[in-house]
Structure 1
Amino acid sequence: MKSLAARYPRLDQADALVVHPPAIPEEHRVPRPGTHVTLVNLSRDKGVDTWRGAAAMLGGLPFLGVTGAHGQQVTCPVRGNIRVIPQTSDMRRDVWGMTRILTAPSIYESYGMAAMEALASGIPVIAHPTAGSANPWGPPAPSWTAATCGPGQPRSEPCTATAPPGSGWWMRRALAAPSSRTSPAGS
């Protein structure tokens, strides 16, 4: 803590220090959006069942799953529109370069680093509100629960993709929206 003392004059008076990992856009940003609906960490706590349900509902869209280091990874069965890749040290090329939108339907997030990296890269994120994700991202939008969870589904439970056919309008709309990551004309 002494090395930070000059930068933060009252640091030595703090009972605790929270240091959030940095999300540096230049390390993740790609020039053009990908086409996939992505989930990083294919465990049940991270929402793999919800992501798979969305893939079943939206069979015409490509889905990308990246295995993680936490929890039992659910990698099978793989539908025709799902591609699963292993963990990677090159998120820019292997994940963000293929991603159009990131899903984070977790029932628990300590911080939500994948979502922070995606947001820093200009990739939209559809997420389930958790205490950890509310910390770096702020409170959810007013339509959050209606857009991501069915009526009566408590926030502490994972959202499920069991809505009637055609109700994936919010995913289709997000995928159709112009990306903030596209290069300006002529560049």
Structure 2
Amino acid sequence: MHAMPPEHNAGAEHMLVSMLRPLVERGHDVSVWLSRYGNAHQEYEYRGIKVIPLESRLDFPTAVRRADVLVAHLETVPPTASLARGYGKPLVVVCHNTHRETFRDMAAGGTALAVYNSRWMEAEAEVFFAEYPKSIRPAGTLIVRPPVFADEYATKPGKAITLINCNPEKGGKVLQALAERMSDQQFLAVKGAYGEQILPDLPNVEIVEHVRGEDMRKQVYARTRVLLMPSSYESWGRVGCEAMASGIPVVAHPTPGLCESLGEGGIFVDRTEIDGYEAVLRKLASAAEYRLASKRAKTRSAELDPSGDLFLWWTAVEGLSG
């Protein structure tokens, strides 16, 4: 992995952590080797996972030679694939987006198992691989929706309208426009793990520094009444699922990923329709409307229980390891 919690807290990394935790619980030795320099200088443990910073200068090829299975994502796929081929190890690639380079890296890597985070991503991959010989497609595929352990996020909702990661693609400008219009409402602008942050300097907007995953319940969701997700692109949208564990309504732009993840628990408004976002937020100010939206969110959260996906996941990994 290029980065790891608690220093780096983005959806892709927390998805991987939530997939590795059950392997630790089943007695496997799980280690994560970081490919970028960060603040950590020595090995540390995170939720039972051994994390080796790049600065520790340990010998990754030796670890590969001793491993049963290699798992990679994002920018780490090409170098890990090279080592997997060199040492004859099965490679698992976890996909977090539908960009062509994601599928192209798998095509070049001799992937034993491709893990997609949604049905729509799997469909996009099938379209991509239709252009290639069958021999270079992943040997196996699996859908694992980003696992959210609802009891780790569930809390009593607060009073604010919240955006998590305020970069333009996630909806920073939407938050700013709404806060300017709705001076009677309190907003939380939570700094994200990446991208330029649009942080409105307004009396009704509180800026929250980047929050560790294990602190999201207390520092963010316990203060949130409605979550905004006006993202230009989301392959899934983990924070929406985290919020729904508390019955927090999520108002989102209808990307294919968000439509699949939020389902009937989501409220969808095009990100260009600021009037529409304001109208929905005004409507949710009604206690009756909020109760109905909250109930739908909790129902969807229950539908996303990760136990079935995780059973298929660890069964597949153990099958690769022999």
TM over 0.5: yes
Q: Which amino acid letter does the alignment assign opposite residue 182 of structure 2?
A: L
Corresponding residue number in structure 2 for 1:174: 284
Corresponding residue number in structure 1 for 2:12: none
Q: Deviations over 1:45-103 (max 9, x none)?
A: 0011011111111110000011111321122x411100011121200110001000001
Q: Percent identity?
A: 36
Q: Which amino acid letter does the alignment assign opposite residue 149 of structure 2?
A: I
How much does 1:135 deviate?
2.8
Contact preservation (8 Å) 1:36, 1:99: yes
| Structure in which a larger fraction of residues adopt strand | 2
Q: 1:63 aligns with which of 187, 204, 210?
A: 187
Q: Which amino acid letter does the alignment assign opposite residue 206 of structure 2?
A: R
For the residues of structure 2 that align with 1:123 and 1:69, how far apart are their CA atoms?
22
Contact preservation (8 Å) 1:50, 1:160: no
| Structure in which a larger fraction of residues adopt helix | 2
CA 1:140–1:22: 2 relative to 1, 3 Å: closer
For the residues of structure 2 that align with 1:49 and 1:126, how far apart are their CA atoms?
15
Q: Which amino acid letter does the alignment assign opposite residue 238 of structure 2?
A: M
Q: Which amino acid letter does the alignment assign opposite residue 221 of structure 2?
A: W
Q: 1:131 aligns with which of 256, 261, 281?
A: 256
Q: Which amino acid letter does the alignment assign opposite residue 88 of structure 1?
A: V
Q: 2:177 aligns with which of 25, 46, 53?
A: 53
CA 1:51–1:120: 2 relative to 1, 3 Å: same
Q: Does 1:83 align with 2:206?
A: yes
How much does 1:133 deviate?
1.2
Q: Which amino acid letter does the alignment assign opposite residue 262 of structure 2?
A: W
Q: Does 1:23 align with 2:148?
A: yes
Q: How does 1:69-108 map to 2 (within 5 A)?
A: 69-75=193-199, 77-89=200-212, 90-108=215-233
- Give the match's secondary structure for 2:261: helix
Q: Which amino acid letter does the alignment assign opposite residue 216 of structure 2?
A: M
Relative contact order (C-alpha < 8 Å, sep 6+): which is higher?
A: 1
Bigger radius of gyration, 1 or 2? 2
For the residues of structure 2 that align with 1:110 and 1:168, how far apart are their CA atoms?
25
Aligned length: 155
- Scaled by the length of structure 2, what TM-score is found? 0.43
- Scaled by the length of structure 1, what TM-score is found? 0.72
How well do the aligned residues superpose, as a CA RMSD in angstroms? 2.9
Q: Does 1:109 align with 2:237?
A: no
Q: How does 1:38-49 map to 2 (within 5 A)?
A: 38-49=162-173
For the residues of structure 1 that align with 2:195 and 2:264, how far apart are their CA atoms?
26
Contact preservation (8 Å) 2:190, 2:207: yes
Which range moved further: 90-99 or 18-27?
Answer: 18-27
